[in-house]
Amino acid sequence: MKVLLISLFAAVMVAVPAVAQEMPDGKWRSYFEPGKEGTERVFFFHGLVKFEVKERAKVVETIEGKEWLRWVKTFKGSPFRNAPKDSFTRVDEAGLWSRSDNGVVELMVPRPLKVGQVWKSGDVELTFRGIEGFDTFDKVVEGCALVAGRLPDGGTVTKYYESGRGFIARVVTGEEPSSKILKELAGE
């Protein structure tokens, strides 16, 4: 009888899912806050081709009454390498926002954040999967926040954020706009 009760208790404990805890705000900031003027960061794009993107935060600009940090991106090892591109980021109580140079605004990461939380960023539904390592092939970066989603074409996107450094990698399967451009350049 004692063994039966212990087995039943263990089965119930396994069947009851743990409640996802909210990421503390200080920890959220260490992963997702974009930095300040002069901040430089390098991240990697893995998709149809693999290349490095270097960003430098240039200046804070007020656009439509909100302060945005303007980033200038350069590309190494890709067909885009001679075409610097501007983008903008900002953080508020709702989360991390991105604004493209053509004015499209998207919620990149909500705030507060819980494991399993789902949100829309443009036409992509994203999910915070938790904290895990990212294998760069040179080393494993431990403790990365992982955000993953499905692209409209059925492919996937996975983004890794390192604590204290921010965004470090984007892994894409399927086609996204940059992949389509690369295919057109290749004549496919």
**The model scores a pTM over 0.85:** no
- For 97, other C-beta atoms within 10 Å of its C-beta total 19
Strand partners, 109: 96
Q: What percent of the chain has pLDDT over 70?
A: 67
Number of C-alpha atoms within 13 angstroms, CB side, residue 80?
Answer: 18
- In order of 26, 35, 46, 64, the CA distances from 165 in angstroms are 14, 9, 19, 28
Angle CA 176–179–184, to nearest 5: 125
pLDDT in tens, 84-107: 677 888 999 999 999 987 889 999
> What average pLDDT does the chain have?
77
Range of weakest confidence among 26-35, 84-93, 125-134: 84-93
CA dist., res. 160 & res. 143, Å (int): 10
pLDDT computed for residue 20 by the predictor:
65
Residue with tokens 């009888």: 1
